Chains A and B, each alone.
Chain A
Amino acid sequence: MRVLEALLDVFRNPQFYSISLTASTPLIFASLGGVFSEITGVVNIALEGIMLMGAFVSTAFTYYTGDPWIGILMAMVVGMGVAWLHAWASIKWWGDQIVSGTAIILMAQGITGFLMKPVFGQVGQTDLEKFKMVKHITREINPIIKPIKLPIPEKTFLGQAIGTISPLVILAFVSVFIGWFIIYKTTLGLRMRSVGENPEAADTLGVNVYGIRYFGVMMSGVFASIGGAFLSVGDTGIFKELMTGGRGFIALAAMILGNWNPIGAMLASILFGASEAFANQLQSSKLIEVSSSVKPLFNMVPFVVTLIVISGFIGKTRPPSADGVPYKKTD
């Protein structure tokens, strides 16, 4: 009974909803990125690595300029660059997209780990206090993007849940809508979908297959890196080695569950984000004793949910036909 009460208690707590949103946001960005890439026919498991780069770059530039928005902007640039690398290998050179993606993940993990010391002066994770001690910045800096207050009375349940919210969370939902509009309502989107489904047919009609694929992959880099940056400058204010912790892959799962549709991917991301928040809240519940040795088990919850949902839904979703297949122009 106590366990049941603890479960109900989680749902009654407004904090659960605000944490759910925070946990969902990086997934929303990254899964939207996944949609952009895969809908044009390029599998992008590099999302995990691009997110990590985004988290690192945004922290580094915030550290040196004092402005987390510049950090975000630079993360987008670098994310696009890393995605370009994946696009170049898999579009221009018909490389195996899984291999290229894996290589980028490993590269991102290596580079960010290696640069910890030269950039932040310490390994493992950055220290909030240290930000204030950088010599060339005289004023005190806030490494976290300032949340905005929504006009909702603070005392209400809703106000406590989402009254104060990071602008990046709002940007995530706006991006999803824009992404959906591009993919389903513009000529560019029609061409993106055709290129991912039957590039040869698109080519005979004068659609620039390679150009559109580059666009899709590079946009995925932009979105995934914002998702990564949210983890650091959007939420915690610190960068930790390997801090993405598999979220890039969960985002891919959300994309599949959402049937390669931005709205669907967003809903799936919220489901996975909520399960993360749920596990988080439950293990710190005062109603049940959770010994620290079992806590890692709770961290599995989002992954278990992913597995269950994916195995239940996988037959009902349909990937783009040419997803993962390099297009070779014949002449």
Chain B
Amino acid sequence: MYEEYAVVMKGIVKRFPGVLANDHVDLFVRKGEIHAVVGENGAGKTTLMNQLYGLLHPDEGDIYIFGNKVIIRGPKDAIKNGIGMVHQHFMLVGNLTVAENVVLGSETTRGGVIFDLREARRKVKELSERYGLHVDVDAKIEDIPVGMQQRVEIIKTLYRGAEILVFDEPTAVLTPQETEELFEVMRRLKAAGKTMIFISHKLNEVMEISDNITVMRLGKVTANLVTRETNPREIARAMVGRDVVLRVEKPPHEPKEVVFEVEDLWVKDNRGLDAVRGVSLKVRAGEIVGIAGVAGNGQSEFVEAITGLRKIERGKVTLLGRDITGLDPRSLRNMRMTHIPEDRHKYGMVLQYPAYYNMILGKHWWEPYSVRGFLNHPAIFEGSKELFEEFDVRPRNVNMLGGNFSGGNQQKIVVAREVSGNPKFTAIAQPTRGLDVGAIEFIHRTILKLRENDVAILLVSMELEEIFSLSDRILVMYEGRIMGEVMPEKTTVEEVGLMMAGKRLEEVRT
């Protein structure tokens, strides 16, 4: 039965307390294809894959690998059946070398006890050359870039003889260039006869790399599509259950006076090196200025510096005509500056606090949340409940701990807090990182509404798509400098991409 399929999961049911995570899910993956499994966060994709990899066990249903019915008790069984998993959060040991990481757990030995590093290096080199994976076998994991770490994960599965590779949201941590490299590798693996399952919610990537698509929503399969015969709109509809606007419409809006200005800003990173080198920019009321760039080119340090979280070495920052260089976050907030930080767990919210406190963080000293130095709990509850309604945070339970909300709803809490209360200037960093299409649409609409209300907005994002669809002006940052300024309607992705790689606008346009 099912001889032509590498993986068949039939009638899979998985229940968690109070949730039906997989509801009679069928998944058919042909030999040698790249099969995408798409769906919003919480649709049950990862649960399904964890059952394939033996990390979870189905309550009902059968799994067939290359036509044979199997029971997968744990990762070891999965590996034995030729299944390899490239985890979203890399499972690598930072202080060991690439070769050591690959062989860990199934080491090459001399006499069964002594670790044979030479043999390990040889095998890893051979695998990396055969599939064009380009890794430095002797480098320590902590010293190599994310893209190479991911290739190490792939080699790990190949070393263990994987014929079926599961990629769990592999592009979430990659730059556009690294994503392209990954796709190259996947194509080579496909040519070598490997079967791949690609989990994602990025529709353009699914369209580019996959052969067939299984769409999931709320634990059920809602569509089986052939990539060649479908389009992103159809996939999105199956994912969300309604029509989704993939690119929100940006109405024309005339910006007003300059609200926020930075002149020749210099900032150091944690290692004491110059991260921002003389950036100047202006943001006007009712304008979105987008900063594009590959991660790690000083954007994070720049945002931290202007929001008072990082020391400014040199330069001047002005808000509403007042010099605010070096002011602390509290003073900045009192001047109606808000900040949607890139790392919502680290800077955006307190995961151990209930939602009603997370809703007022950073304005808890204001009336009505605070009266004569004491927190006014009835007002806090009321205010939070209103924001929950307005921003459609689910579940509607302001008493729930911040950490227990899903990623999309956590971000809604952060956004609700930062855009309410009439800000004058908002610094927004990576607002949709890790969110699904439905939540992205909501956040984008919120940002545009802010623009209509004449808030000055600085948007930092690694997602070019996001920068292009929201910004009125685009600045490209490379190694702490601005490479050039372009209008989204008068430029191309290629042009911006070249600037992201370090070419100045003048060089690009000649």
- Do A and B interact with each other, yes or no? yes
A200 at the A/B interface (Cβ < 8 Å)?
A: yes
B274 at the A/B interface (Cβ < 8 Å)?
A: no
Cβ–Cβ contact B107 & A197, under 8 A: no
Cβ–Cβ contact A190 & B100, under 8 A: yes
Cβ–Cβ contact A320 & B107, under 8 A: no
* Residue from A189, A198, A202, A206 in contact with B94 in the complex, judged by beta carbons closer than 8 Å: A198
* Residue from A185, A191, A318 in contact with B104 in the complex, judged by beta carbons closer than 8 Å: A191
For the complex, would chain A's binding face be called helix, strand, loop or mixed by DSSP majority?
Answer: helix
- CB neighbours (8 Å) of B55 from chain A are 331
Cβ–Cβ contact B114 & A202, under 8 A: no
Cα A318 to Cα B95 with chains together (Å): 10
Cβ–Cβ contact B91 & A197, under 8 A: no
Cβ–Cβ contact B115 & A186, under 8 A: yes
* Residue from B91, B100, B109 in contact with A204 in the complex, judged by beta carbons closer than 8 Å: B91
Within 8 A of B (CB), among A311-326: 318, 320-321
Within 8 A of B (CB), among A291-331: 318, 320-321, 331
- CB neighbours (8 Å) of B93 from chain A are 193-194, 197-198, 201-202
A207 at the A/B interface (Cβ < 8 Å)?
A: yes
- Residue in chain A with minimal CB distance to B102: A205
Cα A198 to Cα B87 with chains together (Å): 14
Cβ–Cβ contact B100 & A187, under 8 A: no
Minimal beta-carbon separation of A31 from chain B (angstroms): 19
* Residue from B75, B90, B91, B104 in contact with A190 in the complex, judged by beta carbons closer than 8 Å: B104
Cβ–Cβ contact A190 & B96, under 8 A: yes
A188 at the A/B interface (Cβ < 8 Å)?
A: yes
B106 at the A/B interface (Cβ < 8 Å)?
A: yes
Give the number of chain A interface residues (Cβ < 8 Å). Answer: 22
Chain A 199-214 interface mask (CB, 8 Å, partner B; 1/0): 0111011110000000
- Residue in chain B with minimal CB distance to A208: B105
* Residue from A188, A194, A207 in contact with B96 in the complex, judged by beta carbons closer than 8 Å: A194
Cα A304 to Cα B94 with chains together (Å): 34
Within 8 A of A (CB), among B82-118: 85, 87, 90-96, 100-101, 104-107, 109, 113-115
B76 at the A/B interface (Cβ < 8 Å)?
A: yes
Cα A190 to Cα B117 with chains together (Å): 10
Cβ–Cβ contact B91 & A201, under 8 A: yes
Cβ–Cβ contact B96 & A185, under 8 A: no
Cα A249 to Cα B73 with chains together (Å): 44
Cβ–Cβ contact A206 & B76, under 8 A: yes
Cβ–Cβ contact A198 & B113, under 8 A: no
Minimal beta-carbon separation of B51 from chain A (angstroms): 13
* Residue from B76, B85, B92, B109 in contact with A187 in the complex, judged by beta carbons closer than 8 Å: B109
Cβ–Cβ contact A193 & B95, under 8 A: yes
Cβ–Cβ contact B115 & A185, under 8 A: yes
- CB neighbours (8 Å) of B113 from chain A are 186-188
- CB neighbours (8 Å) of A193 from chain B are 93, 95-96
Minimal beta-carbon separation of A248 from chain B (angstroms): 26
Give the number of chain B interface residues (Cβ < 8 Å). Answer: 24
Cα A189 to Cα B90 with chains together (Å): 22
* Residue from A185, A186, A188, A205 in contact with B105 in the complex, judged by beta carbons closer than 8 Å: A205
Cα A200 to Cα B92 with chains together (Å): 9
Q: A186-B113, A186-B114, A187-B115 are in contact. Are A321 and B95 (CB under 8 A)?
A: yes
Within 8 A of B (CB), among A130-188: 185-188
- CB neighbours (8 Å) of A194 from chain B are 93, 96, 100, 104
Cβ–Cβ contact A190 & B95, under 8 A: no
Cβ–Cβ contact B75 & A204, under 8 A: yes
- Residue in chain B with minimal CB distance to A260: B95
Cα A33 to Cα B331 with chains together (Å): 51
Cβ–Cβ contact B92 & A201, under 8 A: yes
- CB neighbours (8 Å) of B79 from chain A are 206
Cβ–Cβ contact A197 & B115, under 8 A: no
- CB neighbours (8 Å) of A331 from chain B are 55
Minimal beta-carbon separation of A39 from chain B (angstroms): 10
Minimal beta-carbon separation of A157 from chain B (angstroms): 40
Within 8 A of A (CB), among B328-373: none
Cα A188 to Cα B111 with chains together (Å): 13
Cβ–Cβ contact A205 & B96, under 8 A: no
Cβ–Cβ contact A190 & B87, under 8 A: no
Q: A187-B115, A190-B115 are in contact. Are A320 and B91 (CB under 8 A)?
A: no
- Residue in chain B with minimal CB distance to A194: B93
Cα A18 to Cα B105 with chains together (Å): 44
- CB neighbours (8 Å) of B92 from chain A are 198, 201
Minimal beta-carbon separation of B376 from chain A (angstroms): 37
Minimal beta-carbon separation of A284 from chain B (angstroms): 45
Which residue, of B85, B87, B92, B95, has the highest number of chain A Cβ atoms within 10 A? B95
- Residue in chain B with minimal CB distance to A182: B113
For this complex, 21 residue pairs linking A to B, each with C-beta atoms less than 8 Å apart, are A187-B107, A190-B115, A191-B104, A191-B105, A193-B96, A194-B96, A194-B100, A197-B93, A197-B95, A197-B96, A198-B93, A198-B94, A201-B90, A201-B93, A201-B104, A202-B93, A202-B105, A204-B91, A205-B91, A205-B106, A207-B104
Beyond known contacts A191-B105, A194-B93, A207-B104: 8 more, CB 8 A cutoff:
A193-B96, A197-B93, A201-B91, A201-B104, A205-B106, A205-B156, A318-B95, A321-B94
B residues contacting A by CB (< 8 A) are 55, 75-76, 79, 85, 87, 90-96, 100-101, 104-107, 109, 113-115, 156
A residues contacting B by CB (< 8 A) are 185-191, 193-194, 197-198, 200-202, 204-207, 318, 320-321, 331
